[in-house]
């Protein structure tokens, strides 16, 4: 009985961890620093918590600061901010956009995706709604492999820059986020295999316009 239980636990463990291994494999050779990342037209910044006073949390601010640096140094031309806007009182994309505008990025160079409710949705919508074929993904380092794996699997040629500053600034929150990547990887596998359709809609041309297409 104990032998069968041990085997069952091992099987569940392997199946649960396999998506994480897939994500790590998809990210190999695709992660860079802000200085070393190759030039891409678009930076895709994934949403995270915003505060009640409508400012970005420290984790989100760290992502946005990387995106700003990429734009300022000519590594990207347009920034696509994708996040949760599922509640009238909660709006990640507008907070992200306003933060970048306040830092000096022109309004025409920051495009908001209001239906990026999770990583999969953001990746699919970047391709199908905004016409993005190549991008630099910006998020925390522990999230970057899953983001890269997801975007690459749905047809987006992606590289990434991951924030590592919050690892020392907020170690407990960082550790919790890293641990959540295991169940999040299982959800990623389901989304990719099932080809779940996120909220879509009409084709958006703001990125095309910003790039002069």
Separation CA 19–CA 184 (nearest Å): 9
Range 2-210 classified under CATH 3.40.50.970? no
Q: C-alpha distances in angstroms, 174 versus 54, 73, 125, 143, 168? A: 22, 28, 27, 10, 8
Model pLDDT, residue 213: 81
C-alpha span between 118 and 85 (Å, rounded): 11
How much is the pLDDT for 156? 97
- The pLDDT mean for the chain works out to 90
pLDDT surpassing 50 at residue 1: no
Confidence (pTM) = 0.90
Q: What is the pLDDT of residue 7?
A: 32
Domain-wise residue ranges, the chain? 2-210
Q: Are 139 and 45 in contact (CB under 8 A)?
A: yes
pLDDT of 24: 82
Mean pLDDT of 113-126: 97
Contact 140, 177 (CB under 8 A): yes
Instruction: Summarize pLDDT for 34-81 with one digit per residue, the tens.
Output: 999 999 999 999 999 999 999 999 999 999 999 999 999 999 999 999
Highest mean pLDDT among 10-19, 25-34, 54-63: 54-63
Report the alpha-carbon distance of residue 30 to residue 9 in Å, rounded.
33
144-183 pLDDT per residue, tens: 999 999 999 999 999 999 999 999 999 999 999 999 999 9
Percent of the chain past pLDDT 70, that is, above it, reads: 92
């Amino acid at each position: 009985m104990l032998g069968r239980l041990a085997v069952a636990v091992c099987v569940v463990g392997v199946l649960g961890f396999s998506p994480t291994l897939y994500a790590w494999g998809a990210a190999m050779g695709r992660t860079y620093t802000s200085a070393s990342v190759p030039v891409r037209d678009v930076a895709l910044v994934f949403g995270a918590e915003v505060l009640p006073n409508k400012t970005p949390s420290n984790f989100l601010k760290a992502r946005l600061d990387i995106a700003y640096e990429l734009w300022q140094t000519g590594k990207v031309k347009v920034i696509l901010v994708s996040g949760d806007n599922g509640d009238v009182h909660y709006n990640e994309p507008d907070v992200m956009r306003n933060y970048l505008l306040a830092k000096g990025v022109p309004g025409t160079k920051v495009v908001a995706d209001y239906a990026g409710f999770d990583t999969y949705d953001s990746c699919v919508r970047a391709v199908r709604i905004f016409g993005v074929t190549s991008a630099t993904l910006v998020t925390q380092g522990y999230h970057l492999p899953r983001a890269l794996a997801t975007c690459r699997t749905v047809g987006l040629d992606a590289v990434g820059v991951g924030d590592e500053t919050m690892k020392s600034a907020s170690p407990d929150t960082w550790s919790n986020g890293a641990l959540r990547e295991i169940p999040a990887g299982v959800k990623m596998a389901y989304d990719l295999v099932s080809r779940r359709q996120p909220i879509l809609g009409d084709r958006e041309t703001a990125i095309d316009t910003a790039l002069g297409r």
